[in-house]
Amino acid sequence: MDKRNYDALERWASDEFRSINVQIEYLLHQELRKAGRLKAGAGSNPQKANEKKNGNKQ
């Protein structure tokens, strides 16, 4: 990933109290949803789904 893009994502993630990995997952989920690429019933909050799957709460 381009350093400029990575740095911008890192700042954005920090602003929203997310890790950069969760920020990327969130953005990908939003774009997949907008493009109609997710199955019906796919969760609307990937961060919550990931926490539930891993048994973590933040």
Residue 2: pLDDT above 90? Answer: yes
pLDDT digits 0-9 by tens, 35-46 = 999 886 666 565
Listed in sequence order, the residues at least 6 apart from 37 whose beta carbon sits closer than 8 Å to its beta carbon are: none
pLDDT digits 0-9 by tens, 12-54 = 999 999 999 999 999 999 999 999 998 866 665 655 555 555 5
Contact status, residue 55 vs residue 46, Cβ threshold 8 Å: no
pLDDT of residue 58: 43
pLDDT of residue 39: 81
pLDDT of residue 42: 60
Please choose, from the candidates 23, 31, 29, 26, the residue with its C-alpha nearest in 3D space to the C-alpha of residue 5. 23
